[in-house]
């Protein structure tokens, strides 16, 4: 990218016009969006940590990766907010030279953070997936995907970091120094490859848990509910596709500061929504508890069944029933996250056929059994003429 500085910009605005005074300045919208994203992402991660440490009591490496991802994406948003006050979303002809220099410095930092933000989002999801199952083929696919995500993240990060010689020239505006840098075409090819691979990785991360649940659980309403939890990853795929569209259709050689607001929005959304999707399966205990307290569901446990004729919940006392599991103070079974443990007798064959001695989430569901429930009713007429019912569950 060697060569003399570009020609001076000619402004079509009256002298003295400030870039934030124009009607089409989009920097303010971008700043407000990032503030909202930081708040939402922080709530997701803090709720996840509360669920894992105090409700399910099953913290893991995926939680640590989620915290690291939160730090990176929030820093990324902070740079976006910072850039909005130095020309992001404004026409380049209106930006003073000191602000323009600050813009390109922040832009390079932003690009470097982006690789690690989406990379840690994906690694947090991959670290969660072994909680569902530990079959050999499933684990091999997880480790292959981890290797590919790490290779892509490191490769693109170092390509962008060492794009110029000397390295410090990468933080300068294009065509402003005699440094030897990669061509704009090469840089565009790298960003396009990263975007395409990111879409593929996101599709894999959405497909792996759906595949293992589909193959390990019998057809039931509950199976589709669990699959729907992991299907929220489709939103990350959509944002990645939209971002790729703008990368390939926008001409970044002209007025790049103004166009930054468009691509920046989808870059921010991809990073933050990816983190939300990584947290969503771990939040199911909180979602169930809140829905139960708001009256949106009749039982706290996912497999509870009302006893016919009484409107109550029937509990089985047979050995091995989930009533023997340890419960937290919030009545959530401490069996992990992502998939409910069957806690009540169910008429539906909703559980999967998995060896229960193996240490993963789906294996903790009881095997399919056939059970006959015996109910004895004793009716007595009291002095007031009211009936009194009593059964073995009450004793």
SS in 3 state form for the chain?
A: CCCCCCCCCCCCCCCCCCHHHCCCCCHHHHHHHHHHHHHHHHHHHHHHHHHHHHHCCCCCHHHHHHHHHHHHHHHHHHHHHHHHCCCCCCCHHHCCHHHHHHHHHHHHHHHHHHHHHHHHHHHHHHHHHHHCCCCHHHHHHHHHHHHHHHHHHHHHHHHHHCCEECHHHHHCCCCCCCCEECCHHHHHHHHHHHHHHHHHHHHHHHHHHHHHHHHHCCCCHHHHHHHHHHHHHHHHHHHHHHHHHHHHHCCCCCCHHHHHHHHHHHHHHHHHHHHHHHHHHHHHHHHHHHHHHCCCCCCCCCCCCECCCCCCECCCCCCCCHHHCCECCCCCECCCCCCCCCCCCCCCCCCCCCCCCCCCCHHHCCCCCCCCCCCCCCCEECCCCCEECCCHHHC
Q: Where are the domains of the chain?
A: 19-287
Residue with tokens 């497999």: 303
The reply to whether the predicted model has a pTM over 0.85 is no
Give pLDDT tens digits for 93-121.
888 888 888 888 888 899 999 999 999 99
Confidence of residue 200 (pLDDT cuts 50, 70, 90): very high
Closest CA to 336 of 63, 139, 40: 63
For 316, the token pair is: 């089985």
pLDDT for the residue numbered 250: 83
Closest CA to 125 of 209, 239, 194: 209
Residue 213 contacts by C-beta under 8 Å, 6 or more apart in sequence? 132, 223, 226, 227, 230, 339, 362
pLDDT for the residue numbered 102: 87
| Measured CA distances, 21 to 11, 86, 104, 255, 258 (Å) | 14, 13, 21, 17, 14
What's the N-to-C CA distance of the chain in angstroms? 84
With a pLDDT cut of 70, the percent of the chain lying above it is: 67
Query: CB-hemisphere CA count at 13 Å for 233?
Result: 24
The chain-wide mean pLDDT, for the chain, equals 75
Q: Under a CB-based contact definition with an 8 Å cutoff, are residues 187 and 149 in contact?
A: no
379: left (phi over 0), alpha (psi -120 to 50) or beta: beta
In angstroms, the CA 327 to CA 55 distance is 9
Residue with tokens 């429930």: 373
Query: CB-hemisphere CA count at 13 Å for 98?
Result: 1
Mean pLDDT check: name the lowest of 147-151, 155-159, 211-215.
211-215
Confidence of residue 24 (pLDDT cuts 50, 70, 90): confident
Confidence of residue 329 (pLDDT cuts 50, 70, 90): very low
Confidence of residue 361 (pLDDT cuts 50, 70, 90): low
pLDDT for the residue numbered 347: 43
pLDDT for the residue numbered 309: 42
Is 331 a residue whose pLDDT tops 50?
no
Is 90 a residue whose pLDDT tops 70?
yes
Give pLDDT tens digits for 278-325.
998 888 888 778 777 776 666 655 544 444 444 444 444 344 444 444
Mean pLDDT check: name the lowest of 88-102, 154-168, 209-223, 323-337.
323-337
What dotted CATH number matches 19-287? 1.20.1070
In angstroms, the CA 54 to CA 43 distance is 16
To the nearest 10°, report the CA torsion of 162, 165, 168, 172: -100
Is 358 a residue whose pLDDT tops 70?
no
pLDDT for the residue numbered 157: 95
pLDDT for the residue numbered 300: 58
To the nearest 10°, report the CA torsion of 235, 239, 245, 251: 170
pLDDT for the residue numbered 107: 87
pLDDT for the residue numbered 113: 93
Looking at residues 180-208, what average pLDDT do you find? 91
Looking at residues 317-345, what average pLDDT do you find? 43
Confidence of residue 25 (pLDDT cuts 50, 70, 90): confident
Closest CA to 160 of 190, 128, 130: 190
With a pLDDT cut of 90, the percent of the chain lying above it is: 31
């Amino acid at each position: 990218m060697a060569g003399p500085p570009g020609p001076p910009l000619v402004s079509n605005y009256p002298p003295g016009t400030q870039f934030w005074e124009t009607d089409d300045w989009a920097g303010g919208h971008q700043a407000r969006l990032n503030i909202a994203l930081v708040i939402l992402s922080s709530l997701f991660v803090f709720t996840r940590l509360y669920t894992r440490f105090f409700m399910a009591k099953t913290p893991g490496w995926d939680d640590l990766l989620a915290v690291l991802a939160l730090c990176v994406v929030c820093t990324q948003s902070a740079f976006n907010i910072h850039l909005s006050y130095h020309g992001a979303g404004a026409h380049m002809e209106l930006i003073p030279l000191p602000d323009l220099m600050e813009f390109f410095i922040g832009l390079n930092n932003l690009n470097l953070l982006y690789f690690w933000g989406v990379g840690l989002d994906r690694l947090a999801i991959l670290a969660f997936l072994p909680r569902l199952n530990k079959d050999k083929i499933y684990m091999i696919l997880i480790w292959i995907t981890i290797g590919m995500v790490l290779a892509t993240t490191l490769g693109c990060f170092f390509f962008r970091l060492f794009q110029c010689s000397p390295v410090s020239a990468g933080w300068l505006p294009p065509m402003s120094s005699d440094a030897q840098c990669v061509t704009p075409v090469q840089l565009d090819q790298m960003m396009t490859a990263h975007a395409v691979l990111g879409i593929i990785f996101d599709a894999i991360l959405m497909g792996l848990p759906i595949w293992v649940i589909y193959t390990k659980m019998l057809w039931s309403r509950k199976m589709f509910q669990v699959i729907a939890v992991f299907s929220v990853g489709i939103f990350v795929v959509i944002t990645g596709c939209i971002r790729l569209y703008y990368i390939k259709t926008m001409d970044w050689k002209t007025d790049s500061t103004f166009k930054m607001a468009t691509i920046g929005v989808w870059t921010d959304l991809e990073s933050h929504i990816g983190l939300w999707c990584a947290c969503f399966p771990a939040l199911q205990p909180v979602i169930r508890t809140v829905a139960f307290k708001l009256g949106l569901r009749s039982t706290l446990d996912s497999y509870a069944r009302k006893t016919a004729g009484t409107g109550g919940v029937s509990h089985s006392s047979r050995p091995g029933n989930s009533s023997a599991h340890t419960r937290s103070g919030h009545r959530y079974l401490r069996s992990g996250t992502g998939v409910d443990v069957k806690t009540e007798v169910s008429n539906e064959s909703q559980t999967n056929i998995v060896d229960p001695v193996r240490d993963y989430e789906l294996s903790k569901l009881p095997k399919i059994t056939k059970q006959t429930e015996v109910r004895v009713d004793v009716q007595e007429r009291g002095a007031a003429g009211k009936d009194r019912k009593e059964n073995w569950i009450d004793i």
